[in-house]
Amino acid sequence: MGVSVEQCLAKIDRGDRLESAAEMSEEYRQSLIHLLTMQADSELAGGYGYVPWIMRAPGVEEKHVVAQIVKDEIRHATVMYGLLADLGVDVADHVRAHDSILAMRVDSHADLGTARITSDKRVNIFYYPIDTWADFVFFNFCMDRGAGHQLEDVRHGSYGPWTRAIEGIFKEEKFHIRHGEVWVARLVGDPATRDDAQRTFEKWYIRTMNIFGRPGSAKNVLYRRLRLKLRDNGEVRQAFADEVGGLCRAVGLSVPAWHPVWEELPEDAHIPG
């Protein structure tokens, strides 16, 4: 199975999309599996984190919205695990081994920076609990938007089945983002919830800024060479920050300063790619 690195890159460089494992070098296949697993585990962990808010959401309409978001996230996970199965991954074994781990959350006051603390591949923002309705709202507002900026690269990437799957996922993520925007305006516009909204936004903004990885990382360079990503981590982060900054100015939120974690870490410390 598979082809040489040179054959695989030649096809990618021509602008062709790969459609099966038979067209991939082992380097490409392993890189793709890593990225697909990160997304699949993140989608599943995200859905698990939202489940309690079906009961706790304010009103029947919002319970329905949360239930729809949970359904979307589990569907996204199912699609991504399906792509992994097509590449020969034993998905049932992976989920069986990680199912309870993916539901695990850290203390709400924990600060993980960019660390991953379990054996699954979720983006580490999914370790944090969603304790309040404001947490739910600002997770939608920040993280779903951050994920959208990352998925934008996939839409134009080199693996055909992934690009096609992302189109449907992208549309549903936009619904989640819009839900967050509507509620951000409500929470910020109400004097009773404005201060809590500012504090909650600051928390999730910093956590989301940490998901994009170190600029110029070796993994990111490889992913761009394989056209599994198109932009440097720093470019994607800046696009997210610029968009959020504009939205915050419109509603009157202040954007907190964010300091790169890796400035205080050794070069070989683990940072998401």
DSSP 252: T
**Which residue bears the tokens 């940072």?**
271
pLDDT digits (tens, 9 = 90+) for 167-223: 989 889 888 999 999 999 999 999 999 999 999 999 999 999 999 999 999 999 999
CA separation for the pair 182, 180 (Å, rounded): 6
Are 168 and 155 in contact, with CB atoms under 8 Å apart?
no
Residue pLDDT, tens place only, 98-126: 999 999 999 999 999 989 899 999 999 99
Contact 130, 216 (CB under 8 A): no
Q: State the chain's mean pLDDT as an integer.
A: 93
Give the CATH number of domain 17-106+127-254.
1.20.1260.10
CA atoms within 13 A on the CB side of 169: 27
- The answer, yes or no, to whether residue 133 has pLDDT greater than 50, is yes
Domain boundaries, the chain: 17-106+127-254
pLDDT in tens, 17-73: 999 999 999 999 999 999 999 999 999 999 999 999 999 999 999 999 999 999 999
Q: How far from 146 is each of 44, 64, 128, 250, CA to CA, in Å?
A: 17, 24, 16, 19
